[in-house]
Copies of this chain bind each other. A is one copy, B any other.
C-alpha cells in the first residue's frame, strides 16, 4: 500500500542479473542471450515493472512529451470545430509511440511565444505543433532559434519547417463549379481573419477559381471566422445595389451566421441566396437549411502531424505530407439561381 514502486533494480535482483542486462533485455537491444532475455521479461512482468518515465527522461534526454499551444481565447474555443478531432488524431499517432500531449491555451500572442519558450527552456517537451499559422508567424523563428523540433499545420508553400497540408483549392473550385452549374454568376466571398495563412489561402483559391471560370470575383466582405462576422456580412451584402446570388464563406460558422441573418432579413436560402461554407462542422448538418460545405479532416491532419513530429524527433528529419484534398459536400443551402420564394 506504500510507495513500493518496482524499479529496474528489483527486477535485476530477482533475476540475478545486472541492471544493464535488464535494460537491454527490455528494450530489445542486443547483448543478452535469448534465454536470459526471456527470463528477464517474464520476471519483469511478474513484478509488474513499469520503467519510470522520469528516469528515462533524465538519462535518455527525452521527455516523451509533445506540446501544443493554442492561440485562442479559451472562452471561444467552444465553437471551434477543429481541435477535438485534431487532438484526437495527434493522440492516435503519438500514444502508441509512448508520447503524451501537453496542451496550453493563451489568448494573447506574446504569451503564446513565452509559453513555447518556457516549454523549451524546461525541456518539458521534445517538440511542438504549430497550428493557426499567421502570416510571418513569429513562432517559426522562435522554434528555429530554440532548435525545437516542430511540425506546422497548413502553412503556405515553401515553408522552412516540416509541414502537413490539406489543400483547400480543389474543394473551393468544386464549390464554385457547383454554384456556376446552378446558374450563379455573382459569387461573393466572406473572408476569414486576414492575418491567418489558411484564410489567405482560401480567399485566393476562391479568386483564382472564379477567374478560371471566366467570372469576375464578386464582392468580398471581411469576416473573422465567427458567427457574428457572418451575420454582419449578410447585412452588408444584401444591402448592395446589386446583391450576389451566392456567397462563399471562409468557414461554416460564418456561413451559418450569414444564413441566419439573411433569413431574419426575409431572404430565403437557398431560394434567393445560395450559401456555402468550409470545414464541415457538425452544426452545419443540423441547421436549416443544412450547409453546403467543403469537408476537412482535422483528425487525419492530427494523426499525420503527430506521426511526423515523432519521426522528426527520433530520426532527425521528416518529409512533408499532403493529406487528401478537402472535398465538396453539397447540402441544402445552395440551389438554382432565381428559384425565388
Within A114-173, which residues are at the interface with B (CB < 8 Å)? 119, 121-124, 147
Judge if A257 is at the interface, Cβ distance under 8 Å. yes
Judge if A324 is at the interface, Cβ distance under 8 Å. no
B58 A55 Cβ-Cβ under 8 A: yes
Q: Which residues of B contact A121 (CB under 8 A)?
A: 50
A77 B84 Cβ-Cβ under 8 A: yes
A286 B105 Cβ-Cβ under 8 A: no
Nearest CB of B to A97, in Å: 13
Judge if A196 is at the interface, Cβ distance under 8 Å. no
Q: Which residues of B contact A58 (CB under 8 A)?
A: 52, 54-55, 57-58
A77 B72 Cβ-Cβ under 8 A: no
Within A239-277, which residues are at the interface with B (CB < 8 Å)? 257, 260, 264
CB contact between A231 and one of B52, B63, B282, B286 (< 8 Å): that residue: B286
Q: Which residues of B contact A88 (CB under 8 A)?
A: 74-75, 77, 105
Q: Which residues of B contact A75 (CB under 8 A)?
A: 84-85, 88, 282, 299
CB contact between A100 and one of B5, B77, B104, B147 (< 8 Å): that residue: B104
| A63 and B54 in contact, given A80-B84, A84-B80, A103-B87 (Cβ under 8 angstroms) | yes
CB contact between A54 and one of B54, B104, B231 (< 8 Å): that residue: B54
CB contact between A104 and one of B63, B80, B82, B91 (< 8 Å): that residue: B91
CB contact between A84 and one of B81, B105, B119, B281 (< 8 Å): that residue: B105
Residue in A65, A77, A84, A123 whose Cβ sees the most chain B Cβ within 10 Å: A84
Q: Which residues of B contact A5 (CB under 8 A)?
A: 123
A78 B74 Cβ-Cβ under 8 A: no
A299 B84 Cβ-Cβ under 8 A: no
A100 B100 Cβ-Cβ under 8 A: no
Residues of A within 8 A of B (CB): 1, 5, 50, 52-55, 57-58, 63, 65, 72, 74-85, 87-89, 91, 95, 100-105, 119, 121-124, 147, 227-228, 231, 257, 260, 264, 281-283, 286-288, 299
